[in-house]
Each structure stands twice: as structure tokens, then as C-alpha cells.
Amino acid sequence: MAAKAPDSGGSGEILPITPSLSETTSGVTAASQSTQPPSSSSDVDTVYVPSYSRWFSWTDIDDCEVRSLPEFFNSKSSSKNPKFYIYLRNSIIKQYRDDHPRKISFTDVRRTLVSDVVSIRRVFDFLEYWGLINHSSSSSAKPLKWDEKSAGDASSEPPTTVKETAKRICNGCKSICSVACFVCDKEHNSKAYTYEKFKRVELSEESKKVWSEKETLQLMEAVMHYGDDWKKVATHVTGRTEKDCVSQFVKLPFGEQFVKESDSEDSLEAFDKIKGSADLESGGSDKEGSSPNKRMRLTPLADASNPIMAQAAFLSALAGTKVAEAAARAAVTALSDVDYEAEKNATGDPHRQDANANSGGDITNSERAWADAKSLIQKEEQEVEGAIKEIVEVEMKKIRDRIVHFEKLDLEMERSRKQLEDMKNLLFTDQLNIFFHTRKARKSEDRVDC
């Protein structure tokens, strides 16, 4: 099955796994498959593998491996074959798991494998990228140094941020967090709970809800630089989690970034319109549906793949909100006028205009039915046109083929004519030769006679 590459956010859920062959010496226990952290676990023994690497199996090779490491599968060299690849991969993973949770280094591995070092490095990098080795495990289970406000330790339930309620309750001591709490946004892997991974979040009611200027600025910068990579954005913005950043960004009034005037509402509309018109022109741009329009308005700037959007946004930024808004309105009305004209010409029916003008208003049933019938007829016309076009194309192709065929025949004719000519010439020269010979023969006869 094709597995998509993990995105840099590493947002896959974690599955604890057991190897299907039981050869590891460190007893790997089978934890139940859940995204919740195990409440009391022998942490050292459970190996976690990210869900995007679910395809891994000791005895099989998955497509993504073939794609990423083609050198083993293109039979260019006899010893770099799939079996050899399996040997390398399994030995690396086994070695890592034997020493889990210690991170394994490339040099450890390459000293123990019989192969040339560059191939080993490629397999090693591949496995590390897919989280099959060295996956978010700390090098040593340091005891968590908790702030005195929130107590907890590595083996008990890891604290999570409770976002839904207004007050934060510490998962460790079950009391309300007052001054500050430590927040960890990593996956719920107990190995990940080292001191560094926790961010200190100051808790006062305002700072939780209201974003300061500085933070907003940082958010903007981060989004400009990193685009969709919310993990990086969150690290750039001090004190805010990923979810916070995303929700704040979504709520941001767009004009803030580009326009110094606080014409936020208008600019919102203006860009909506621009987007609308760009959609009409470009036939719709596809963005993730999860975020509302706001995000779509900003990301085109960072998103070079939709040049029309980027251009439009850039130009509107240059021109300023009022101008952009006016231009957009004019563009939209012009477009709808064109539409409107076309339909008027096609039908010349006043009812249609009414239907247009009253769209969303109080149309009577008959008018609506009339409008529906109209659209159906138009659709049929288009279909018929399409069919006619196809037929014409086919006929054209036939004619073209016949012409080609005819040209070939012509060429053949030429050739045979030329051949005929040649033969005629040959015949002529032969005749001449014979004539001369007979002349000569007769002459010599005469001479002899005389």
C-alpha cells in the first residue's frame, strides 16, 4: 500500500508496536494500540513507531522503500539486491531496538555491517526519516524537573494542556494551575518527557486569551517565513502552542498585516471578492478546506503555486485597500454584467432578468421552474455542441489520414516512373551497342571480302 511520506510536522499518531519475529532480547511488550499514553508502563521496553511507518514489516519490502532507495532494486549490481537491503535494514533496526531507548548513531551501525559505508548511510537515513529508528526517544530518562506549581513525574500520566476549560488543571497534582504551568505539545510518548520539551506558559487570564502586539508580530513573521509549518511557527512565537497559533491566525483581521489603516472589515470583503473573481477566472484554486477564507487570503502570498492569486494579492497590497476594494467591486460587477449580457442575448427574455435580480429574494415558483428549465436547456445545448465538435474532429482526422495515404501513393508512382525511365535508358544504350557492333561486324566483313 502506498504510504505518504511523513510531513515535517510529525503529526502522525504514535502506535506502539511489537516486531512480528520475537528475536529481540529486551522484552518488547505489546501495549494496546491507543493514542493515550500508557498509565503505568515499563517505559524502557515499549518501542513506539509513528503511524506513518505502519507499513514496516520484517520480511517485506514496501513501495516507499523501493522508491527511496532504488539502488537496491534496479539490479544494476548483483550484490545490491533486495535480500541485501533486508539484511541491512533489519540489522540496523534490531541493533537500535536492542539498545533502546538509546539513540543509535550511524557510526555504531556501519562498524557492524558488512557493506560499503555509503549504502549503509542511505538506509540509515531512510529509517531515521521514517521514524523506525531514533524516534523521539530521549537519550536518557531524565527526571522531570517540575516547577513547584505543577508536580508530576515521568511514570505517571503525562500532563496535557486542557484547552477547553478556562482554568487549567494540572494532570499531575490535579489542582488548578495558578502561576504557571508547563506545557508539552509533543506526542504522548512517555519517553519524550524531558525538561526541555516543556514550554513554560505564564497563566494569567488575559495572556491566555489576548494576544499581545509582540506575539502577533511574531506570528505574522513566522507565517511569512514558514507558511504552513505550524510547528515552526509555534516555536517562533514564544509562549504559544500550535493550536493557539492556528486559531489566532485564523481570527486575525487580514488588513493588519499589510495596511496600516484599520480598515479591517472592508479589506476582508475586498479580498473575498478578489478571491471570488480569481476563482471565476482560474476555475477555482484548491486549498485545504479546513481553514476558513482568512487563511486562504494570506497563504496565497506564501504560496507560489497559485500565481494568479499571488499576483492579485500583491497588486491589491500595492494599491491600498480602498482602491483594491473599488477595483474588485468593479471587476465583479463587470463579470456579472458579461454573464448577464450573454444570457440576455441568448434568450432576450425579461423573466430571466427578474430571476437574476431577485436571486435569493422572493421568486415565485413558476419563475423558478422557468429558470431551471432554462439551465437544463443550456446544458443540453452545450452537450450537443460538444458532440458536434467531436464529430468534426473525427472527420478531420479521417481526411488527414486519407491525404497522407494519397501522398504515399503519389511517392510510389514517382518512384516507379523513375524506374521506368531508367530502364528505358538502359534499353536505349543496349540498342546502341548492338547497332555499333553490327556496323563494325559488317564493316569487317566487307573488308575481308574485298
Partner 1 sequence: MKALGSSGWKGPVKFRMPTAENLVPIRLDIQSEGQRYKDAFTWNPSDPDNEVVVFAKRTVKDLKLPSAFITQIAQSIQSQLSDFRAYEGQDMYTGEKIIPIKLDLRVNHTLIKDQFLWDLNNFESDPEEFARTLCKDLGVEDPEVGPAVAFAIREQLYEIAIQSVASARESRLSKKGRRGSDHGSASKASGLSMDLVKLFSFKSSVVRKRKDLDVYEPVVDLLTSEEVDALEAREERHAR
Footprint on this chain of partner 1 (rule: CB under 8 A): 77-80, 91, 95, 105-108, 110-119, 121
Shortest gap between Cβ of 139 and partner 1 (angstroms)?
13
Beta carbon nearer to partner 1, 22 or 78: 78
Distance between CA 413 and CA 417 in Å, rounded? Answer: 6
Given the complex with partner 1, which of 117 and 301 has the nearer CB atom?
A: 117
Least distance (Å) from partner 1 to the CB of residue 116? 4
CA 183-185-187 angle, 5° bins: 135
By beta-carbon proximity to partner 1, the closer residue of 76 and 260 is 76
Termini Cα distance of the chain? 108
Tell me if 332 sits within 8 A of 324, measured CB to CB: no
- Residue 75 Cβ, how far from partner 1 at the closest point, in Å? 13
Q: Nearest distance from residue 129's CB to partner 1, in Å?
A: 15
Cβ-based neighbours of 80, under 8 Å, separated by 6 or more: 71, 72, 119
CA-CA distance, 107 to 13, in Å (whole number)?
30
Q: Smallest gap, in angstroms, from Cβ of residue 106 to partner 1?
A: 5
Closer by beta carbon to partner 1, 106 or else 314: 106
- Exposed/middle/buried for residue 89 (C-beta within 10 Å: 0-12, 13-18, 19+): buried
Of 81 and 155, the one with the shorter C-beta distance to partner 1 is: 81
Q: Which three cell numbers stand for residue 61?
A: 519490502
249-262 burial, b for 16+ CB within 10 Å, e for fewer? beebebbebbbeee
Nearer to partner 1, 111 or 225 (CB): 111
- Reply yes or no: is the peptide bond before residue 101 cis, omega within 30 of 0: yes
Is the alpha carbon torsion for 374, 376, 378, 380 positive or negative?
negative
CB of 95 to partner 1, least distance (A): 8
Q: Write down the least CB distance from residue 70 to partner 1, Å.
A: 14
Rounded Cα–Cα distance for residues 57 and 169 (Å): 41
Q: Which is nearer to partner 1, 105 or 238 (CB)?
A: 105
